[in-house]
Amino acid sequence: MKTLCIRVDYGRMIGLGHLMRCLGIAQAYQEKGHEINFISSIECKNVSIEKRLRKERMGFTYLQAKPASLDDAQKTATYVKDDEWLVLDGYHFNRKYQRAIEGRVKQMLLVDDFGQWKRYGAHMILNQNIFGKKKWYTRTSKNSQLLLGLEYIVLRKEFWKYVGHKRSISSRADKILVMMGGSDPHNATLKVIQAMQWVNVPGLQVRVVVGAVNPFYQDLQKATKEGAQDIKLIRNTDNVPQLMAWADLCISAGGGTCWEMAFMGLPSVMIATAPDQGMHSQKLQQKGSVIYLGKNTNVTREQISSVVISLLTDARKRKKMSQIGQKLIDGKGAFRVAEHMIRKDG
């Protein structure tokens, strides 16, 4: 039995997106009968995340080293046996770090989003984004394999049973899901909750998902009680697909959640809370599966409530958005990635 090692960090400023997509790869690899070990900086230590990984029967290791340093690379490599894979996912794992790892492990998968490095040393590169380009990776190792595009969108295990899911579009929409990221360091969630207080739709229900590393939970609890609307917080849940199936509409940040919503056929209003999220959101708006309002700092509560009211009362628009989204993502990307790794392994 082999062990897949995954070097990934997470936390208040980094968020949980890198960790969550790595979890999807890990689950698909685990389905093939292998073990998993997550390797993270000691700065990432979080009881809720540890509990989740234990529940998944996965191991975790903390490094006593400066993240992405040469010391980090050397210590990480000691956990990878000669014939095992190492996955790297994080914007701080630069070319220098990759080079330090490259000479110590035989098989390395780099998860990349923007082609930001001049050279790449990984044996396999995964860029699952809608805007990923082959020309970004012309300077790679001789035998590097590229996995590019939406067919490699990695979804976690809880989504797999929804492959082929058919959404029913209600003419009377009144269920809203809010997901502004695992950490939401700028507290965009509070702005959305306040905007929801202005949505006067009979029977409105709003469910707000708050991540394990969100530092504003108490403030958000207080905000949900300040108006007459039915607004409830859901903290650190692994029940996201069921919530997406329940909702008529989602208000979300533009991170990895956008692919989950597209797969579930959930019409969405997107607000970018990090610099890289605007690219995803703009592309999806061009496709017609979301409405993108812009950067969080530029979006007002009035804009949010106005767009939400308009969509709740427009079943035709929601149906079109839903259909377009589901055509983009088939939900099998994690298995494709795992199969490529195992095939190259053999």
- Report pTM: 0.95
Q: Find out whether 276 and 223 touch, Cβ atoms under 8 Å.
A: no
* Burial of residue 224, with CB atoms counted within 10 A of its CB: 0-12 exposed, 13-18 middle, 19 or more buried: middle
Q: Find out whether 327 and 130 touch, Cβ atoms under 8 Å.
A: no
Q: CA 114, 117, 118, 119 torsion: positive or negative?
A: negative
How does DSSP assign 198-250, residue by residue? T---TT-EEEEEE-TT-TTHHHHHHHHTSSSSEEEEEES-S-HHHHHHH-SEE
**Per-residue model confidence (pLDDT) at position 131:** 84
DSSP character for 67? T
Q: Find out whether 37 and 26 touch, Cβ atoms under 8 Å.
A: no
**Per-residue model confidence (pLDDT) at position 71:** 97
Q: Report the 10 Å Cβ neighbour count for 145.
A: 16
* Bridge partners, 127 (sequence order): 148
Q: Find out whether 338 and 29 touch, Cβ atoms under 8 Å.
A: yes
- Helices assigned H by DSSP within the chain: 17-31, 47-55, 70-77, 95-102, 157-160, 188-196, 217-224, 240-246, 257-264, 277-287, 301-312, 315-328, 333-345
**Per-residue model confidence (pLDDT) at position 70:** 95
The domains of the chain, with CATH numbers, are 3-159+331-345 (3.40.50.11190), 164-328 (3.40.50.2000)
Angstrom distance (rounded) from CA 304 to CA 252:
11
Q: Find out whether 65 and 72 touch, Cβ atoms under 8 Å.
A: yes
The rounded average pLDDT for each run of 10 residues, N- to C-terminus, in the chain (346 residues) is 95 92 98 96 95 96 97 97 94 93 92 89 92 88 88 97 94 95 93 96 96 92 93 93 98 93 97 87 95 96 97 97 97 96 81
Kindly give, in sequence order, each residue whose CB lies less than 8 Å from that of residue 10, ignoring residues fewer than 6 positions away: 16, 18, 19, 40, 44, 46, 49, 182, 213
**Per-residue model confidence (pLDDT) at position 346:** 59
Angstrom distance (rounded) from CA 223 to CA 183:
18
